[in-house]
Structure 1
Amino acid sequence: MAQGPNYKVKFRRRREGKTNYYKRYTYVKSKTDRLVVRITNNYVIVSLMRFNPKGDETLAMAHSIELSKKFGWKGDLNNTPASYLTGFLLGIRAKKLNVQKITADIGLFTPSIGARVFYVIKGAIDAGLEIPMGDVEIDKDRIYGKHIAEYAEKLEQENPEKFNKQFSKYLARGLNPKDLPSHVEEVLNKIKASGE
Protein backbone atom coordinates (compact mmCIF):
# COMPACT_ATOMS: atom_id res chain seq x y z
CA MET A 1 0.00 0.00 0.00
CA ALA A 2 1.37 3.40 -0.96
CA GLN A 3 2.16 5.79 1.84
CA GLY A 4 3.32 9.36 2.21
CA PRO A 5 1.99 12.91 2.63
CA ASN A 6 0.93 13.24 -1.04
CA TYR A 7 -0.92 9.93 -1.34
CA LYS A 8 -4.71 10.08 -1.44
CA VAL A 9 -6.88 6.96 -1.40
CA LYS A 10 -9.42 7.01 -4.23
CA PHE A 11 -13.13 6.54 -3.51
CA ARG A 12 -14.14 2.91 -3.08
CA ARG A 13 -16.37 2.76 -6.22
CA ARG A 14 -13.51 4.22 -8.28
CA ARG A 15 -11.06 1.64 -6.89
CA GLU A 16 -13.56 -1.12 -7.77
CA GLY A 17 -13.87 0.26 -11.31
CA LYS A 18 -17.58 0.99 -10.96
CA THR A 19 -17.80 4.80 -11.13
CA ASN A 20 -15.93 7.44 -13.09
CA TYR A 21 -16.51 10.44 -10.83
CA TYR A 22 -15.32 13.00 -13.38
CA LYS A 23 -17.89 11.76 -15.93
CA ARG A 24 -20.56 11.73 -13.25
CA TYR A 25 -19.67 15.31 -12.29
CA THR A 26 -20.19 16.43 -15.91
CA TYR A 27 -23.57 14.64 -16.05
CA VAL A 28 -24.71 16.36 -12.86
CA LYS A 29 -23.58 19.78 -14.12
CA SER A 30 -25.48 19.31 -17.39
CA LYS A 31 -28.76 19.01 -15.39
CA THR A 32 -30.23 16.62 -17.96
CA ASP A 33 -31.70 13.18 -17.42
CA ARG A 34 -29.46 10.23 -18.34
CA LEU A 35 -30.02 7.18 -20.51
CA VAL A 36 -28.02 4.57 -18.61
CA VAL A 37 -27.09 1.58 -20.79
CA ARG A 38 -25.67 -1.61 -19.29
CA ILE A 39 -25.04 -4.75 -21.36
CA THR A 40 -24.38 -7.98 -19.48
CA ASN A 41 -23.46 -11.43 -20.79
CA ASN A 42 -27.16 -12.29 -21.10
CA TYR A 43 -29.24 -9.10 -21.15
CA VAL A 44 -29.51 -5.46 -22.13
CA ILE A 45 -30.70 -3.14 -19.35
CA VAL A 46 -31.62 0.49 -20.07
CA SER A 47 -32.74 3.04 -17.48
CA LEU A 48 -33.83 6.66 -17.58
CA MET A 49 -32.23 8.31 -14.54
CA ARG A 50 -32.60 11.73 -12.92
CA PHE A 51 -30.00 13.12 -10.52
CA ASN A 52 -31.13 13.69 -6.95
CA PRO A 53 -28.73 14.66 -4.11
CA LYS A 54 -30.31 11.90 -1.97
CA GLY A 55 -29.78 9.30 -4.71
CA ASP A 56 -30.55 8.98 -8.40
CA GLU A 57 -34.20 8.44 -9.32
CA THR A 58 -35.21 5.87 -11.91
CA LEU A 59 -37.95 7.37 -14.08
CA ALA A 60 -38.32 4.46 -16.53
CA MET A 61 -36.62 1.19 -17.29
CA ALA A 62 -36.52 -1.45 -20.03
CA HIS A 63 -35.00 -4.93 -19.79
CA SER A 64 -34.42 -7.15 -22.83
CA ILE A 65 -36.22 -10.05 -21.09
CA GLU A 66 -39.43 -8.04 -21.56
CA LEU A 67 -39.04 -8.52 -25.32
CA SER A 68 -39.61 -12.27 -24.96
CA LYS A 69 -42.20 -12.11 -22.17
CA LYS A 70 -44.41 -9.32 -23.55
CA PHE A 71 -43.71 -9.12 -27.28
CA GLY A 72 -42.86 -12.67 -28.36
CA TRP A 73 -39.17 -12.11 -29.13
CA LYS A 74 -37.47 -15.43 -29.98
CA GLY A 75 -33.91 -14.23 -30.65
CA ASP A 76 -31.04 -13.75 -28.22
CA LEU A 77 -31.59 -11.23 -25.46
CA ASN A 78 -28.26 -9.38 -25.79
CA ASN A 79 -27.52 -9.19 -29.52
CA THR A 80 -27.68 -6.08 -31.73
CA PRO A 81 -31.39 -6.33 -32.69
CA ALA A 82 -32.37 -6.93 -29.03
CA SER A 83 -30.28 -3.89 -28.03
CA TYR A 84 -32.10 -1.71 -30.55
CA LEU A 85 -35.54 -2.99 -29.53
CA THR A 86 -34.81 -2.48 -25.81
CA GLY A 87 -33.69 1.09 -26.48
CA PHE A 88 -36.83 1.69 -28.56
CA LEU A 89 -39.02 0.34 -25.74
CA LEU A 90 -37.41 2.70 -23.22
CA GLY A 91 -37.76 5.60 -25.65
CA ILE A 92 -41.52 5.05 -25.86
CA ARG A 93 -41.78 4.90 -22.05
CA ALA A 94 -39.73 8.10 -21.72
CA LYS A 95 -41.97 9.90 -24.24
CA LYS A 96 -45.00 9.02 -22.09
CA LEU A 97 -43.27 10.82 -19.21
CA ASN A 98 -42.82 13.89 -21.45
CA VAL A 99 -39.03 13.51 -21.45
CA GLN A 100 -37.44 14.95 -24.61
CA LYS A 101 -33.72 15.63 -24.19
CA ILE A 102 -31.42 13.22 -22.40
CA THR A 103 -27.72 12.38 -22.27
CA ALA A 104 -26.33 8.91 -22.91
CA ASP A 105 -24.42 7.37 -20.00
CA ILE A 106 -22.45 4.31 -21.12
CA GLY A 107 -20.53 4.00 -17.85
CA LEU A 108 -16.96 2.70 -18.01
CA PHE A 109 -17.58 1.10 -21.40
CA THR A 110 -14.99 2.10 -24.02
CA PRO A 111 -16.86 3.10 -27.19
CA SER A 112 -15.92 1.21 -30.36
CA ILE A 113 -17.31 1.07 -33.89
CA GLY A 114 -20.42 -1.12 -34.15
CA ALA A 115 -20.86 -1.47 -30.38
CA ARG A 116 -24.31 -2.58 -29.21
CA VAL A 117 -24.53 0.36 -26.81
CA PHE A 118 -24.94 2.71 -29.80
CA TYR A 119 -27.79 0.58 -31.14
CA VAL A 120 -29.58 1.01 -27.80
CA ILE A 121 -29.17 4.78 -28.13
CA LYS A 122 -30.34 4.65 -31.78
CA GLY A 123 -33.47 2.77 -30.67
CA ALA A 124 -34.28 5.51 -28.15
CA ILE A 125 -33.67 8.20 -30.80
CA ASP A 126 -35.98 6.42 -33.26
CA ALA A 127 -38.65 6.35 -30.53
CA GLY A 128 -38.52 10.17 -30.48
CA LEU A 129 -35.92 11.18 -27.90
CA GLU A 130 -33.20 13.76 -28.50
CA ILE A 131 -29.84 12.25 -27.56
CA PRO A 132 -26.52 13.67 -28.79
CA MET A 133 -24.59 10.77 -30.32
CA GLY A 134 -21.93 12.44 -32.48
CA ASP A 135 -21.03 11.00 -35.86
CA VAL A 136 -21.39 7.32 -34.96
CA GLU A 137 -22.46 5.27 -37.98
CA ILE A 138 -25.37 2.90 -37.45
CA ASP A 139 -25.85 0.08 -39.96
CA LYS A 140 -29.59 -0.37 -40.54
CA ASP A 141 -29.00 -3.97 -41.71
CA ARG A 142 -27.51 -4.83 -38.30
CA ILE A 143 -30.57 -3.38 -36.54
CA TYR A 144 -32.72 -5.97 -38.32
CA GLY A 145 -30.19 -8.77 -37.85
CA LYS A 146 -29.46 -9.25 -41.55
CA HIS A 147 -25.83 -10.05 -40.71
CA ILE A 148 -27.02 -12.94 -38.50
CA ALA A 149 -29.47 -14.18 -41.16
CA GLU A 150 -26.79 -14.10 -43.89
CA TYR A 151 -24.31 -15.95 -41.70
CA ALA A 152 -26.95 -18.56 -40.78
CA GLU A 153 -27.80 -19.13 -44.45
CA LYS A 154 -24.14 -19.51 -45.39
CA LEU A 155 -23.46 -21.85 -42.47
CA GLU A 156 -26.50 -24.02 -43.24
CA GLN A 157 -25.25 -24.59 -46.79
CA GLU A 158 -21.63 -25.25 -45.81
CA ASN A 159 -22.03 -27.17 -42.55
CA PRO A 160 -25.58 -28.12 -41.49
CA GLU A 161 -24.35 -29.85 -38.34
CA LYS A 162 -22.56 -26.71 -37.13
CA PHE A 163 -25.62 -24.63 -38.08
CA ASN A 164 -27.90 -26.80 -35.89
CA LYS A 165 -25.42 -26.60 -33.01
CA GLN A 166 -24.71 -22.86 -33.22
CA PHE A 167 -28.34 -21.80 -33.65
CA SER A 168 -29.87 -24.51 -31.45
CA LYS A 169 -31.45 -21.97 -29.05
CA TYR A 170 -33.06 -20.05 -31.92
CA LEU A 171 -34.43 -23.27 -33.39
CA ALA A 172 -35.64 -24.49 -29.97
CA ARG A 173 -37.60 -21.22 -29.56
CA GLY A 174 -39.21 -21.78 -32.97
CA LEU A 175 -37.26 -19.18 -34.96
CA ASN A 176 -35.19 -19.96 -38.01
CA PRO A 177 -32.29 -17.47 -37.82
CA LYS A 178 -32.70 -16.80 -41.56
CA ASP A 179 -36.09 -15.22 -40.73
CA LEU A 180 -34.64 -12.85 -38.09
CA PRO A 181 -35.10 -9.57 -40.08
CA SER A 182 -38.84 -10.15 -40.50
CA HIS A 183 -39.11 -11.21 -36.84
CA VAL A 184 -37.42 -7.97 -35.70
CA GLU A 185 -39.92 -5.99 -37.82
CA GLU A 186 -42.80 -7.95 -36.29
CA VAL A 187 -41.65 -7.33 -32.68
CA LEU A 188 -40.95 -3.64 -33.42
CA ASN A 189 -44.51 -3.25 -34.71
CA LYS A 190 -45.86 -4.94 -31.56
CA ILE A 191 -43.90 -2.51 -29.38
CA LYS A 192 -45.26 0.46 -31.37
CA ALA A 193 -48.83 -0.87 -31.16
CA SER A 194 -48.61 -1.55 -27.42
CA GLY A 195 -48.11 2.12 -26.57
CA GLU A 196 -45.96 1.09 -23.56
Structure 2
Amino acid sequence: MKTGPRFRMPFKRRFYKKTNYKKRLGLLLSDKPRLVIRKSLKHIKAQIIKYEPDGDKTIVSADTKDLGKLGWKYSTSNLPAAYLTGLLIGKKSKKKKIDGVVVDLGIERNIKGSKLYAVVKGAIDAGLEIPFSEEAFPSEDRIKGLHIAKFSKEKGEAYKN
Protein backbone atom coordinates (compact mmCIF):
# COMPACT_ATOMS: atom_id res chain seq x y z
CA MET A 1 0.00 0.00 0.00
CA LYS A 2 1.12 3.50 -0.68
CA THR A 3 1.68 5.78 2.25
CA GLY A 4 2.84 9.30 2.65
CA PRO A 5 1.48 12.81 2.84
CA ARG A 6 0.07 12.88 -0.72
CA PHE A 7 -1.82 9.59 -0.68
CA ARG A 8 -5.03 9.21 1.29
CA MET A 9 -6.61 5.78 1.73
CA PRO A 10 -10.42 5.61 1.76
CA PHE A 11 -12.23 4.06 4.69
CA LYS A 12 -11.84 0.30 4.81
CA ARG A 13 -15.54 -0.48 4.22
CA ARG A 14 -15.58 1.92 1.26
CA PHE A 15 -12.37 0.43 -0.15
CA TYR A 16 -13.92 -3.05 -0.13
CA LYS A 17 -17.18 -1.67 -1.63
CA LYS A 18 -19.33 -2.53 1.39
CA THR A 19 -20.53 0.94 2.47
CA ASN A 20 -21.33 4.10 0.55
CA TYR A 21 -20.91 6.68 3.31
CA LYS A 22 -22.41 9.55 1.32
CA LYS A 23 -25.62 7.59 0.74
CA ARG A 24 -25.64 6.37 4.36
CA LEU A 25 -25.40 9.92 5.69
CA GLY A 26 -28.36 10.99 3.57
CA LEU A 27 -30.44 8.10 4.90
CA LEU A 28 -29.49 8.82 8.51
CA LEU A 29 -30.33 12.52 8.21
CA SER A 30 -33.94 11.58 7.40
CA ASP A 31 -34.26 10.53 11.07
CA LYS A 32 -36.49 7.58 10.14
CA PRO A 33 -35.71 3.89 10.59
CA ARG A 34 -34.16 2.21 7.55
CA LEU A 35 -35.56 -0.82 5.77
CA VAL A 36 -32.30 -2.58 4.91
CA ILE A 37 -32.63 -5.23 2.20
CA ARG A 38 -29.83 -7.64 1.36
CA LYS A 39 -29.89 -10.62 -0.96
CA SER A 40 -27.75 -13.68 -1.45
CA LEU A 41 -28.08 -16.45 -3.99
CA LYS A 42 -30.45 -18.47 -1.77
CA HIS A 43 -32.09 -16.02 0.63
CA ILE A 44 -33.30 -12.46 1.08
CA LYS A 45 -33.00 -10.60 4.38
CA ALA A 46 -34.93 -7.52 5.41
CA GLN A 47 -34.30 -5.59 8.61
CA ILE A 48 -35.62 -2.38 10.06
CA ILE A 49 -32.69 -0.61 11.68
CA LYS A 50 -32.61 2.53 13.80
CA TYR A 51 -29.48 4.66 14.11
CA GLU A 52 -28.10 5.23 17.61
CA PRO A 53 -24.77 6.88 18.49
CA ASP A 54 -23.49 3.66 20.09
CA GLY A 55 -24.27 1.72 16.91
CA ASP A 56 -27.22 0.77 14.74
CA LYS A 57 -29.94 -1.25 16.48
CA THR A 58 -32.05 -3.83 14.67
CA ILE A 59 -35.70 -3.38 15.60
CA VAL A 60 -37.36 -5.98 13.35
CA SER A 61 -35.92 -8.68 11.15
CA ALA A 62 -37.37 -11.06 8.55
CA ASP A 63 -35.72 -13.60 6.30
CA THR A 64 -36.89 -15.98 3.62
CA LYS A 65 -35.89 -18.77 6.02
CA ASP A 66 -38.79 -17.63 8.23
CA LEU A 67 -41.21 -18.43 5.40
CA GLY A 68 -40.43 -22.13 5.79
CA LYS A 69 -41.60 -21.98 9.40
CA LEU A 70 -44.87 -20.46 8.18
CA GLY A 71 -45.52 -23.20 5.60
CA TRP A 72 -43.73 -21.96 2.45
CA LYS A 73 -42.41 -25.09 0.70
CA TYR A 74 -41.00 -23.50 -2.42
CA SER A 75 -37.80 -21.69 -3.34
CA THR A 76 -36.59 -18.94 -1.01
CA SER A 77 -34.69 -17.09 -3.71
CA ASN A 78 -37.48 -16.17 -6.12
CA LEU A 79 -39.61 -13.06 -6.50
CA PRO A 80 -42.77 -14.33 -4.73
CA ALA A 81 -40.65 -15.29 -1.70
CA ALA A 82 -39.17 -11.78 -1.69
CA TYR A 83 -42.67 -10.25 -1.73
CA LEU A 84 -43.76 -12.47 1.17
CA THR A 85 -40.65 -11.46 3.12
CA GLY A 86 -41.62 -7.82 2.65
CA LEU A 87 -45.16 -8.62 3.78
CA LEU A 88 -43.78 -10.41 6.84
CA ILE A 89 -41.50 -7.56 7.89
CA GLY A 90 -44.34 -5.10 7.35
CA LYS A 91 -46.61 -7.08 9.69
CA LYS A 92 -43.87 -7.42 12.31
CA SER A 93 -43.09 -3.70 12.17
CA LYS A 94 -46.77 -2.81 12.62
CA LYS A 95 -46.73 -4.78 15.88
CA LYS A 96 -43.75 -2.67 17.00
CA LYS A 97 -45.67 0.51 16.01
CA ILE A 98 -43.30 1.52 13.20
CA ASP A 99 -45.18 3.49 10.55
CA GLY A 100 -42.68 4.95 8.09
CA VAL A 101 -39.24 3.89 6.91
CA VAL A 102 -36.74 4.76 4.19
CA VAL A 103 -35.29 2.05 1.97
CA ASP A 104 -31.59 1.21 2.16
CA LEU A 105 -30.54 -1.04 -0.73
CA GLY A 106 -26.84 -0.71 0.03
CA ILE A 107 -24.52 -1.12 -2.91
CA GLU A 108 -26.97 -3.34 -4.82
CA ARG A 109 -27.78 -2.24 -8.35
CA ASN A 110 -31.17 -0.64 -8.84
CA ILE A 111 -32.95 -2.78 -11.41
CA LYS A 112 -36.63 -2.15 -12.10
CA GLY A 113 -38.84 -5.08 -11.13
CA SER A 114 -36.15 -6.90 -9.14
CA LYS A 115 -36.47 -8.95 -5.95
CA LEU A 116 -35.38 -5.95 -3.89
CA TYR A 117 -38.38 -3.97 -5.07
CA ALA A 118 -40.66 -6.95 -4.46
CA VAL A 119 -39.67 -6.73 -0.77
CA VAL A 120 -40.51 -3.01 -0.77
CA LYS A 121 -43.88 -3.72 -2.45
CA GLY A 122 -44.68 -6.34 0.19
CA ALA A 123 -43.83 -3.93 3.01
CA ILE A 124 -46.04 -1.23 1.48
CA ASP A 125 -48.91 -3.71 1.07
CA ALA A 126 -48.53 -4.62 4.76
CA GLY A 127 -49.13 -0.99 5.71
CA LEU A 128 -45.71 0.64 5.99
CA GLU A 129 -45.35 4.15 4.60
CA ILE A 130 -42.41 4.12 2.21
CA PRO A 131 -41.77 6.90 -0.31
CA PHE A 132 -41.33 5.02 -3.58
CA SER A 133 -42.27 5.10 -7.26
CA GLU A 134 -44.75 2.53 -8.57
CA GLU A 135 -42.69 2.13 -11.76
CA ALA A 136 -39.92 0.24 -9.94
CA PHE A 137 -42.17 -2.53 -8.64
CA PRO A 138 -42.53 -5.88 -10.40
CA SER A 139 -45.83 -6.71 -12.11
CA GLU A 140 -48.62 -8.50 -10.23
CA ASP A 141 -48.16 -11.61 -12.41
CA ARG A 142 -44.54 -11.93 -11.32
CA ILE A 143 -45.42 -11.34 -7.66
CA LYS A 144 -48.04 -14.11 -7.82
CA GLY A 145 -45.52 -16.43 -9.48
CA LEU A 146 -47.44 -16.91 -12.71
CA HIS A 147 -44.19 -16.75 -14.69
CA ILE A 148 -42.90 -19.75 -12.70
CA ALA A 149 -46.13 -21.70 -13.20
CA LYS A 150 -46.04 -21.00 -16.94
CA PHE A 151 -42.44 -22.19 -17.19
CA SER A 152 -43.15 -25.37 -15.24
CA LYS A 153 -46.14 -26.13 -17.49
CA GLU A 154 -44.08 -25.71 -20.64
CA LYS A 155 -40.85 -27.33 -19.52
CA GLY A 156 -42.02 -29.42 -16.56
CA GLU A 157 -42.12 -32.72 -18.41
CA ALA A 158 -38.43 -32.46 -19.27
CA TYR A 159 -37.47 -32.21 -15.58
CA LYS A 160 -39.67 -35.03 -14.20
CA ASN A 161 -37.86 -38.23 -13.27
| Same fold (TM > 0.5) | yes
Map of 2:148 onto structure 1: 148
**Residue 104 of structure 2 aligns with which residue?**
105
Runs of 4+ in 1 over 6 A off after TM superposition: none
Q: Count how many residue pairs are aligned between Structure 1 and Structure 2.
A: 160
Query: RMSD over aligned Cα, in angstroms?
Result: 1.3
In structure 2, the partner of 1:171 is none
* TM-score, normalised relative to structure 1: 0.78
Measure the CA separation in 1 of the matches of 2:68 and 2:91: 17
Q: Once the two structures are aligned, what percentage of the paired residues are identical? A: 38
Note if 1:119 corresponds to 2:115: no
More helix by share: 1
1:23 pairs with 2:23: yes
1-structure distance, mates of 2:100, 2:146: 31
Deviation at 1:27, TM superposition (A): 1.0
TM-score (norm 2): 0.94
Specify the code of the residue in structure 2 equivalent to 1:149. Answer: A
Q: For the residues of structure 2 that align with 1:16 and 1:110, how far apart are their CA atoms? A: 16
Take 1:164 and 1:50, find their aligned partners in 2: how far apart are those partners?
47
Pairing 1:164–2:160 present: yes
Query: Secondary structure of the residue that 1:61 maps to in structure 2?
Result: strand
Contact 2:79 2:118 in 1 (8 A): yes
Q: How much does 1:7 deviate? A: 2.1
The SS at the match of 1:128 is coil
Which residue identity is paired with 2:13?
R
Partner of 2:91: 92
Gap runs ≥5 in structure 2: none
Output the amino acid matched with 1:142: R
Structure 1, gaps ≥5 residues long: 166-196
